[in-house]
Amino acid sequence: MVPTNRPMIRKDMADLVYMTEAEKIQAIIEDIRERTAAGQPVLVGTISIEKSEVVSQELTKAGIKHNVLNAKFHASEADIVAQAGYPAAVTIATNMAGRGTDIVLGGSWQAEVAALEDPTPEQIAQIKADWQVRHEAVLASGGLHIIGTGAS
């Protein structure tokens, strides 16, 4: 095992097993509601496009706003990733071989600046200040919460 460059701060939790897929989805919904109520961003990992679509449909039925990141939405990937670390953001992501993307806690201030046509130094400074507030809020809420939906 290769040692980490920095001390490990991730908290690994025990796996939870459910008798039915419906029970598992309901538990995911409850966990998301609890985490987002505290302002914590949530990443839901799925093993296939089909599973991500099922989870998305159930979150929509439950009234939970979310983004889906899978091969079908590849064109909007950068925007989805840029927003995934915002307070209370919910993102469903499908495993895609050979990919690794950093989710910035508080969102990507660089993406906000890039969205402006000709940003002034004052606008950039304000965006950075707003990002710092969001970043600190996400850290205080516990950071990014990751839910793995498993292999079933």
Q: Is residue 3 part of a domain?
A: no
Q: Is residue 15 part of a domain?
A: no
Report pLDDT for 98.
44
Q: Which two tokens stand for residue 53?
A: 């679509």
Q: Helix and strand tally (H, E) in the chain? A: 5, 4
- DSSP states of 80-130 as a string? HHHHTTSTT-EEEEE--TT---PPPTT--HHHHHHTSSS--HHHHHHHHHH
Q: Is residue 83 part of a domain?
A: yes
Q: Using pLDDT thresholds of 50, 70 and 90, give the confidence band for residue 73.
A: low
Q: Is residue 10 part of a domain?
A: no
User: Measured between alpha carbons, how far is residue 72 from residues 45, 50, 59, 69, 93 in Å?
Assistant: 15, 11, 18, 8, 11
Q: Is residue 53 part of a domain?
A: yes
Predicted confidence (pLDDT) per residue in 8-59, tens digit: 766 777 777 778 989 999 999 999 999 999 999 999 999 888 999 999 999 9
Domain that includes residue 93, residue range: 21-148
**Domains: count for the chain:** 1
Q: Is residue 8 part of a domain?
A: no
Q: Is residue 32 part of a domain?
A: yes
The CATH number that applies at residue 52 is: 3.40.50.300
Whether the CB-CB separation of 113 and 121 falls below 8 Å is answered with: no
Residue 142 has pLDDT above 80, yes or no: yes
Residue 97 has pLDDT above 50, yes or no: no
Q: Is residue 12 part of a domain?
A: no
DSSP 3-state of 148: strand
Whether the CB-CB separation of 12 and 28 falls below 8 Å is answered with: no
